[in-house]
Amino acid sequence: MEYRKMGKTGLKTSIIGLGCEHLDGGKPYAQIKETVDAALEGGVNIFDMFMPGKEIREAVAKALGDRRKDVIIQGHIGSTDVKQQYDISRDLPTAQRYFEELLRIFGGHIELGMMFFIDSDKDYEDVFETGFADYVQRLKKQGDIGNIGFSSHNPKTAVKAINTGLPEMLMFSVNPAFDMLPVDEYTLEHLEKDFGKDMFKGIDPDRAALYALCDRKQIGITVMKTFGAGKLLSAEYSPFSEPLSVGQCVHYALSRPGVCSVLPGCKTAAEMRDVLKYLMLDEKEKDYSKVLSAARNDFRGKCLYCSHCQPCPANIDIAAVNKYLDVAMLNTREIPQSIKAQYGELPYKGDSCVKCGHCESRCPFGVPVMENMDRSSILS
């Protein structure tokens, strides 16, 4: 397993985690235990527990047993099932009741206390302009939660929430189909209906800006909807000319700036092991560029961090240089020290480029790599 720093939280998370949602719904305990065991055996150390039901919470805690102390729980504040189904509640006594039960079940401390589902302006107001956010801050002060996070599917609202300065990490829906939908489309609606193959016009600039902002402010991102509810893996429903593989979807999400972990919703040990096979894939098997380049290609010139341009004879990690450059270009007058430091750690930087042009001939997206290597001097 590979582990990444989760932004400013001080935590290190496995690049593949487990979203426990699909273990809910009356699955036998043996199945839950086998899935949790498969995750732990594969080195997974982060589990999303957004489900409000007592039974599933207790089953996952029991399956973890003593190993609870070795893992990071992402627990959601405001996730309830008052009407016997998944629901969002901003009513403080209700949210408190559900979260305190989660705390009790997982030993009195939750590493990531997530403000649940902040998508609309109304969600934002209900969290940040009421006593809700104060409650979350109190939880942190009391040591009940280690870090404050939030979940969202909307890049504009997510940016607004991050700019309050309160969240330290974010759970966001990331996959190439969501990233390339037009700005005014609400991603979750496309899990219910078709993606619409003619909609894909390039990376949504709001989503690209969110990832860059997260990298800049050291807000680690955990990923949900990695496979677009399975649609990206299906020949019938994929918006691209061919389906992506599990490994390609995982790799796409992990190559966005700021992302530290993907949390697929595996419901069996076999599914968990299947996702963990990502760790054994070679670069060719992870490469998603061919599938995406067959979609409408209005995003020419914008790096997708796919690394299809490698190898570079000067040993430059071209995707990494482009990624840091994109973050820096958000505001060239104030480039965060953290980004400069990360760039500084690259063994070969943009100034090592010998202008052979091999990368540009291999890049399916027409990125002006050599120009970017020159521009990366702003990071030194």
Q: Which residue, 130 or 377, has its beta carbon nearer to ligand SF4?
A: 377
Residue 126 or 287: which CB sits closer to ligand SF4?
A: 287
Q: Does 358 bind ligand SF4 (CB under 6 A)?
A: yes
Q: Examine residue 292 and tell whether it contacts ligand SF4 (CB under 6 A).
A: no
Quick check: 214 binds ligand SF4 (CB under 6 A)? no
Site for ligand SF4 in 129-158 (CB under 6 A): none
Rank residues 160 and 290 by Cβ distance to ligand SF4 and give the closer one: 290
Closer by beta carbon to ligand SF4, 158 or else 312: 312
Rounded to the nearest whole angstrom, what is the least distance from the CB of residue 323 to ligand SF4 in the complex?
9
The 10 Å Cβ neighbour count of residue 294 is: 12
CB-neighbour burial class of residue 142 (10 A; exposed 0-12, middle 13-18, buried 19+): exposed
Judged on CB neighbours under 10 Å (0-12, 13-18, 19+), 141 is exposed
Q: Is 322 a binder of ligand SF4 (CB under 6 A)?
A: yes
CA–CA distance, 9 with 46 (Å, rounded to integer): 14
Judged by CB under 6 A, the residue of 49, 291, 312, 379 near ligand SF4 is: 312
Cβ distance to ligand SF4 smaller for residue 174 or 309? 309
Stretch that binds ligand SF4, among 14-22, 91-99, 105-113, 364-372 (CB under 6 A): 364-372
CB of 12 to ligand SF4, least distance (A): 25
Q: For residues 308 and 306, what is the distance between their CA atoms, to the nearest angstrom? A: 6
304 binding ligand SF4? (CB under 6 A): yes
Kindly tell me which residue out of 57, 217, 308, 349 binds ligand SF4, with binding defined by CB under 6 A.
308
Cα separations (Å) of 56 from 26, 28, 63, 98, 160?
Answer: 8, 10, 10, 13, 33
Among residues 104 and 355, whose Cβ is nearest to ligand SF4? 355
Cβ proximity to ligand SF4, 114 vs 316, nearer residue: 316
Number of amino acids touching ligand SF4 (CB under 6 A)? 28
Find tokens 């500084």 and name the residue.
344
Give yes or no for a contact between 285 and 265, defined as CB atoms under 8 angstroms apart: no
Q: Rounded CA gap, 339 and 332, in Å?
A: 12
Please, what is the minimum distance in Å from the beta carbon of residue 282 to ligand SF4? 16
**Matching residue, tokens 């599938």:** 291
What Rg do the C-alpha atoms of the chain give, in angstroms? Answer: 21
| Total residue length of the chain | 380
Pair 43, 1: CB distance under 8 Å: yes
Query: Minimal distance in Å, beta carbon 148 to ligand SF4?
Result: 33
From the list 64-72, 166-174, 202-210, 301-309, the region that binds ligand SF4 by CB under 6 A is 301-309
Concatenated DSSP letters of 212-268: HHHHHHT-EEEEE-TTTTTGGG-TTT-SSSSPPPHHHHHHHHHTSTTEEEE-----S
Dihedral pair phi/psi, residue 280, rounded to 5°: -100, -5
The residue from 127, 170, 213, 303 that contacts ligand SF4 (CB under 6 A) is: 303
CA-CA distance, 3 to 15, in Å (whole number)? 6
* Contacts of ligand SF4 in 328-357 (CB under 6 A): 353-357
In the chain, the amino acid numbered 320 is A
Question: What residues line the site for ligand SF4 (CB under 6 A)?
Answer: 289, 303-309, 312-314, 316, 318-319, 322, 353-359, 363, 365, 367, 369-370, 373
